[in-house]
Each structure stands twice: as structure tokens, then as C-alpha cells.
């Protein structure tokens, strides 16, 4: 299989696909320090919701449930962005607002620790909310 290419922001170009394989391809192609962080996020989501749905759209991995999607990640040059697709309904709110009023973000930079307890809390809350349609 050819090596994935990356955007100028370092985000991997991964073909659209459903299921765990395209998400695994994205995680494997994440550059440098972002890859272990992406794998940690995937492991937390899967541990909380073993039946999680996965897909890649627009070179972005998404995690969801039966009624829609709740989480995505994206690589930027200097940070990894976690998108909470129902973030405006989470408590506490993820720190960064979006132009999309329902979405909130958490940006992580190299050397910053992921608060796994808070992430798990947000994921558990998101699972109790209606998922987003893409």
C-alpha cells in the first residue's frame, strides 16, 4: 500500500471509507507526536463505547453511534484538534468555540498532556445526546 500524503497542515490524505480500517489508516499516517495522541483518543472512545462506528470523510476520522457522529480529529501543523460535534451541549464546554454553533474544540499542542478523565467524561456525555448527521 502506498504511503499516504499529507496536506500542508500535516493532516493525512486518507480515502473516504466506513469502518475501523480507514480510521486505522489515518491513525497510522498521523505525523510525529500526534500519532500516539490519536491512538490514545481512539482507545478511550472504544473503551467507553465498544460498538463505536468509525469512518473517514474529508480526510477526517469520525467516531459515532447508531444515530450519528459525536467526535472527530484533525491534524494541524502545530496542534491536534479534537472536534466535539455536540460540544455545545457538554458540561463543562470544551474550550474552543466553532462557527458551527453545535461544535466545540479542544486543541492539543506538542508536550501538552491529554486530560483523559475529562475526555472520557465528554465522550460519555456525547453518547447520551443525539448524534450529528454529516
Tell me the whole-structure pTM to 2 decimals: 0.93
Which of 54, 88, 91, 51 lies closest to 69 in space, CA to CA? 54
> Would you kindly state where each structural domain of the chain is located, as residue ranges?
17-127
Name which CATH class applies to 17-127.
alpha beta
Q: Please, which residues bridge with residue 96 across strands?
A: 105
Q: Would you say 87 and 105 are in contact if contact means Cβ atoms under 8 Å apart?
A: yes
Which secondary structure element, helix H or strand E, spans residue 126, and what is its range? Answer: helix 116-127
- The H or E element that residue 21 is part of is helix 20-29
* Cβ-based neighbours of 36, under 8 Å, separated by 6 or more: none
Tens-level pLDDT at each residue, the chain (134 residues): 566 787 877 889 999 999 999 999 999 999 999 999 999 999 999 999 999 999 999 999 999 999 999 999 999 999 999 999 999 999 999 999 999 989 999 999 999 999 999 999 999 999 999 999 99
Amino acid at each position: 500500500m502506498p504511503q499516504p500524503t499529507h496536506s500542508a497542515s500535516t493532516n493525512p490524505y486518507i480515502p473516504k471509507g466506513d469502518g475501523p480500517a480507514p480510521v486505522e489508516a489515518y491513525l497510522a499516517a498521523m505525523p510525529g507526536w500526534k500519532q500516539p495522541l490519536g491512538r490514545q483518543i481512539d482507545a478511550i472512545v472504544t473503551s467507553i463505547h465498544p460498538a463505536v462506528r468509525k469512518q473517514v470523510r474529508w480526510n477526517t476520522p469520525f467516531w459515532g453511534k447508531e444515530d450519528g457522529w459525536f467526535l472527530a480529529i484533525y491534524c494541524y501543523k502545530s496542534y491536534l484538534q479534537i472536534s466535539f460535534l455536540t460540544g455545545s451541549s457538554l458540561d463543562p464546554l470544551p474550550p474552543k468555540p466553532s462557527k458551527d454553533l453545535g461544535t466545540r474544540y479542544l486543541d492539543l499542542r506538542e508536550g501538552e498532556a491529554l486530560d483523559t478523565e475529562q475526555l472520557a467524561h465528554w465522550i460519555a456525555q456525547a453518547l447520551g445526546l443525539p448524534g450529528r448527521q454529516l
